[in-house]
Amino acid sequence: MSVVGKKNWIIPDCELPPEGEGVLKGHESVIVVNDSDRAARIKVTLFFVDMAPYDAIEWVVEPKRVKCFRMNVPEQMSGYVIPLETQYAMKLESTEKIVVQYGRLDNRQTNLAYYTTIAF
């Protein structure tokens, strides 16, 4: 059986919005699917416009599972607090082939925006 995915991913357009006041709270999330028979250990590196990269974030996704990581939840970011409204990019390096999807809900306007995309 062929495992779907790849081991290295880039998400170039990240920017954590504030939660806002609506029912749906502003956030970013990365959804990881691990199609393999082994746990995927994922090193996450954040790249900023005017700050040094941050690379002390680690995630684990168990075999044959999907897991959602929220950028506004420090416990899911190995304790790191991502600054709001700051442009950054994210690199994921996995021990197993994975599939990565990125989503952002931005409700800074009345007409909130939600988009999702497969990472590269």
* pLDDT tens digit sequence for 41-84: 999 999 999 999 999 999 999 999 999 999 999 999 999 999 99
Domains and CATH numbers, the chain: 6-118 (2.60.290.11)
Question: What is the rounded distance in angstroms from the CA atom of residue 61 to the CA atom of residue 46?
Answer: 19
Q: Do the beta carbons of residue 116 and residue 6 sit within 8 Å?
A: no
Higher pLDDT, 119 or 110: 119
Q: Does the model's pTM come out above 0.75?
A: yes
